[in-house]
A and B are shown apart, each in its own frame.
Chain A
């Protein structure tokens, strides 16, 4: 019998009603009295010296309120990076300044140079065209290898070169070299993890207002983490104390990482609103989004695997170039290092692993976390490599994986992390059943009868969610804590507001979080409401990214609810003149164990706020508790994915025929939402594998600058997916036993797709070792030409 209540119930989402009726309130739906509109004049060259800016004619245009340039931001802070990575030589990473508006130079197409604030948007655009701007174009560095060569143009003149850091991690070089020296077989693969654009369907928007009466600024912004924005913008950029700055992220139309970061535009509108004493609004167009939202991925990697004569993995070595773009975005530096290197063991007991990463500045849009952030890059290279090894050795790729699985937990990897639980055999067993391996030969024959090639690709993945604990990540360079917070406010009549630091922008927290509290208290979910997204209402929390919301913020909510229960039991004990230790809470009723005495939830909550009969000398009135939760470790969701493709050998077109995902997310609060998260991740991973590619030309012009050239996955590009999360090994160190499910689909799916295409081609006699993503018809056709 499926549950209809509490933890484990597939409850319908309460937030859907407003979204389905057009009543959602996104940032662009917010307009403030007296509002002005902002348009940014952006660089149309990748690299250049700003020779002159003359705004005088533009400033005289109708409706113009004020025009801002980089000069207005002299003495104002730049956009900070939140993670300090240390070079293998012990030096700190290079951290060039990142101005709100360009100062002296422009470093990527799309960098804001001037901002025009006017009465209407079209007036602002008209005036921007009248700005006389002279830029002396400089040679652009786009390709990472070329950027590191001697004599390459420098993105930042004050730095010695374009290398941000050279990072090394994992086993000692000698141990890895010894493994390779003793190997019976070494498999090597060079590959690209293609640059992507996150493309949440809601473009970014920022609206700022300033109340001169009390010197308070309010920023409405499309953010996954309003407190992070308040901290970074207030403390590092604009110097506004936090109690004078409110950041609100209302309904947000998808994030996928790209709405974590603190952007120039939101700092600008907040600054400008104070300067002109009027509200300022900026709404990104999709075209602007392509050149101003942080991009994702963009790694070039060489990876090598050493195997012994029995096909055991004995050593792994990687060498990656990671594109940072022109400036360090908020968490850019952590993605190719701590979110990537720590996952290189995958699901395998390889004893010696070394990861090398060079982060490179180029004249492109900054690159930062995108769904999975570092973990998809790790998974893709490892799982492509294992597949290649299997083909070279002539062994079954599933068997090779199984042979090398980690099977006992906890397991400390050579790349610093300790997996608490997992059962990779179980998820692989489940996957084989879901994809129907025995039926594959017949399906392949059917495809061949139609003139098509069919391939099956399988891979495993591991990810790390809820990155923590704060004292560890602090040692690793994080400039923030990675806890989260929740306040449970029980009202007099028994209804509850839970104020959470996590932010819901599609994840369904408003539905799933009450299921946890309701389960603990034994009351109906409808009595509980989640409040999020407004720094003036919620405790200081770090927001939503890295599949952390339930594991970290949910745990804080559990701890706060436990405090509520403890206090409520004291009140109940007083009301029933019983001993606190005898009070039990079940189904919303407090009872005295072994008696028929009981008081209802509502009696206790009313007593807390109308404390006429109340132990005032022992406890305070009221019923409201806050908890901050700092996890002891990451959580480690893992699983096995399989994809079946058909390839049209004449055109190279790949179609996905079947996709199956067997995940271990630990315990699950709302299976409907979890499955939806996996579906969405799969489409993004399939998009990366087959369709999406963010491409610059040699001059640093963005070629895939709109949906006309950046191929978003559409309904016809994907199949119905089979997903399963029954092989659950609960997390051992958080109170809910949950692991996180938001990124798994995007992490686990790209290698399955590419492995499937290569299986189809090799089975048909094409000797193709690898095709870079996206595996477009053109690339498949080229590969088949030999």
Chain B
């Protein structure tokens, strides 16, 4: 067991962890932050995406011990301070960018990283960036649309008749 200390969604936490404890397990089992999901075991689906020191990473493919001293962000820390949905979350709701909701936390975390790096991404850039986030419900149409909308782009003509 190793002691790790990190900041999660702005709050400092310290826990004794096993060496083989993944961040997904640390967040879900130790901190009871169950918004970060596990959808695969080959580091591909992105349901577990979180931010570590400001970077988008797969929570299922990083050990808690590797995050000692890190700033960690999860879906539970994304809403505005007053609890209202942030711009990306709101765009996902406005444009029906989610159905079952399971991939959604990872999608929102990835979208946040994308817009930080590229504040006005094109459709193609969004689709490329989401390569590591699999959604089985939406067919991606409304996810891409929501991210474009969240970046302030006019989406009213997308797939218009």
- The reply to whether A and B meet directly (CB within 8 Å) is yes
Residues in A lying within 8 Å of B, measured CB to CB: 12-13, 15-26, 28-29, 122, 199-203, 251-254, 256, 285-287, 434, 505-508, 672-673, 675-676, 679-684, 706-708, 712-716, 718, 720-724, 745
20 additional A-B residue pairs with CB within 8 Å, beyond A200-B136, A713-B140, A715-B133: A17-B85, A20-B93, A21-B76, A21-B85, A29-B28, A201-B37, A202-B39, A202-B102, A203-B39, A254-B102, A287-B42, A675-B96, A679-B138, A683-B138, A712-B136, A714-B130, A715-B143, A720-B123, A720-B158, A721-B159
Instruction: Write the B20-44 contact mask toward A (1 if CB under 8 angstroms, else 0).
Output: 1000000010000111111111101
- CB of B137 within 8 Å of the partner chain: yes
What are the residues of chain A within 8 A of B144 when measuring CB–CB?
715, 720
Query: Closest CB-CB distance, B34 to chain A, in whole Å?
Result: 4
Residue of B nearest to A749 (CB): B139
What are the residues of chain B within 8 A of A434 when measuring CB–CB?
161
Residues in B lying within 8 Å of A, measured CB to CB: 20, 28, 33-42, 44-45, 47, 74-76, 78-79, 85, 89, 92-94, 96, 98-105, 108, 123, 126-128, 130-131, 133-145, 158-159, 161
- Can you list 10 contacts pairing A with B, beta carbon distance less than 8 Å? A19-B98, A20-B89, A252-B100, A254-B102, A286-B41, A676-B138, A715-B126, A716-B127, A720-B141, A720-B158
Query: Closest CB-CB distance, A140 to chain B, in whole Å?
Result: 26
What are the residues of chain A within 8 A of B79 when measuring CB–CB?
21
Contact (Cβ within 8 A) A16 B92: yes
Q: Give the distance in Å from the alpha carbon of A24 to the alpha carbon of B100 in the complex.
A: 10
What are the residues of chain A within 8 A of B161 when measuring CB–CB?
434, 722, 724
| A679-B139, A715-B143 given; A12·B93 CB < 8 A | yes
The residue that B89 contacts in the complex, of A21, A505, A724, with Cβ under 8 A, is: A21
Query: Closest CB-CB distance, A184 to chain B, in whole Å?
Result: 40
Contact (Cβ within 8 A) B85 A715: no
- The prevalent SS among residues of B at the interface is loop
What are the residues of chain B within 8 A of A683 when measuring CB–CB?
138-140
| A200-B102, A707-B45, A722-B159 given; A21·B35 CB < 8 A | yes
Contact (Cβ within 8 A) B100 A505: yes
Contact (Cβ within 8 A) B40 A26: no
Q: Give the distance in Å from the alpha carbon of A680 to the alpha carbon of B142 in the complex.
A: 10
Contact (Cβ within 8 A) A506 B100: yes
What are the residues of chain A within 8 A of B136 when measuring CB–CB?
199-201, 254, 256, 680, 684, 712
The residue that A22 contacts in the complex, of B94, B105, B127, with Cβ under 8 A, is: B105
Residue of A nearest to B95 (CB): A672
Contact (Cβ within 8 A) B85 A706: no
Which one of A675, A706, A716, A721 has the greatest number of beta carbons of chain B within 10 Å? A716
The residue that A19 contacts in the complex, of B20, B94, B104, B123, with Cβ under 8 A, is: B104
Contact (Cβ within 8 A) A20 B47: no
Residue of B nearest to A745 (CB): B139
Closest 4 CB pairs of A and B: A22-B35, A19-B101, A253-B102, A683-B139
| A19-B104, A715-B126 given; A721·B89 CB < 8 A | no
What are the residues of chain A within 8 A of B99 when measuring CB–CB?
254, 506-508, 676, 680
Contact (Cβ within 8 A) A714 B37: no
| A676-B96, A715-B130 given; A24·B142 CB < 8 A | no
Q: Give the distance in Å from the alpha carbon of A287 to the alpha carbon of B98 in the complex.
A: 25
Contact (Cβ within 8 A) A15 B101: yes
Query: Closest CB-CB distance, B144 to chain A, in whole Å?
Result: 6
Query: Closest CB-CB distance, A507 to chain B, in whole Å?
Result: 7
Contact (Cβ within 8 A) B126 A251: no
Q: Give the distance in Å from the alpha carbon of A17 to the alpha carbon of B143 in the complex.
A: 15
Contact (Cβ within 8 A) B134 A714: yes
